[in-house]
Amino acid sequence: MLPRIDYIKQARTKLGMTQRELASLAGVSTSMINQIESGRCKPSYDTAKKIFELLSTQEGKTALKARDICRMRVISVQKHETLHLAIEKMRENSISQIPVFDGPKVVGLLSEDVLARNIIEKEEKNFLRMPIVDVMEPPPPIVDLSTPAKALIPLVRFTKCVLVSEKGEVIGIITVSDTLKMVE
């Protein structure tokens, strides 16, 4: 028993495939895929089976992973460094948050929100000389590079950023703007 024929278009678009790509993989014409999806043509059982099998095998291959949308250059600071240095790095790189490390280990996050809140609360002349550790937030979540990108959207919206690791080492970062790559 095969799924309903109208599932072909849903599955193809979910995978981000064009009609031409599906037709090429299935060994049929683009016109035939168009006619099947529009309901103007009913494929033979063998053709439909071939298309459904192809779509099911493509699911794992075309789904974006964390590695596909992360930025591989992680700009960071060390916890003992000053807020002045962190702010300079954030300005130079046009970023709104920066991971804080203690050696190779992620220990916190410094964001524009935290800086603004602390500028108001501290009202100190020496604010910029303070060590980052005095105002940083808890560290952002760390996910494996093979984590499905769609699973990261709610996480990134909640936590500002997500770090991406491979074998325990941080190799990338994903922010809200990086998730927009999923709709390109």
Kindly report, residue by residue over 4-58, the tens digit of the pLDDT: 888 898 888 877 788 998 998 889 999 999 999 999 999 998 999 899 888 887 7
Residue 96 burial (10 A CB sphere; 0-12, 13-18, 19+)? middle
Number of Cβ within a 10 Å radius of residue 102: 12
Q: Which residues of 68-77 are buried (b: 16+ CB within 10 A; e: fewer)?
A: ebbeeebebb
Judgement on whether residues 122 and 83 belong to the same structural domain of the protein: yes
Q: Of the residues 62, 80, 96, which one is the last residue of a structural domain?
A: 62
Q: Model confidence at 160, in pLDDT bands (50, 70, 90)?
A: confident
CATH number at residue 160: 3.10.580.10
Q: Of the residues 47, 62, 77, which one is the last residue of a structural domain?
A: 62
- Position 94 in a domain: yes
The residue among 114, 126, 48, 44 whose CA lies nearest residue 77 is: 114
The residues with which 108 forms a beta bridge, in sequence order, are 100
Q: Model confidence at 89, in pLDDT bands (50, 70, 90)?
A: very high
Whether 79 and 131 have beta carbons less than 8 Å apart is answered as yes
Question: Which pLDDT belongs to residue 60?
Answer: 59
Whether 99 and 106 have beta carbons less than 8 Å apart is answered as yes
Q: Does this model's pTM top 0.95?
A: no
Average pLDDT, the chain: 87
What angle in degrees, to the nearest 10, is found between the helix axes of 7-15 and 45-62? Answer: 20
What is the domain range of residue 35?
A: 7-62
Between CA 90 and CA 121 the distance in angstroms is 21
Question: Which pLDDT belongs to residue 59?
Answer: 67
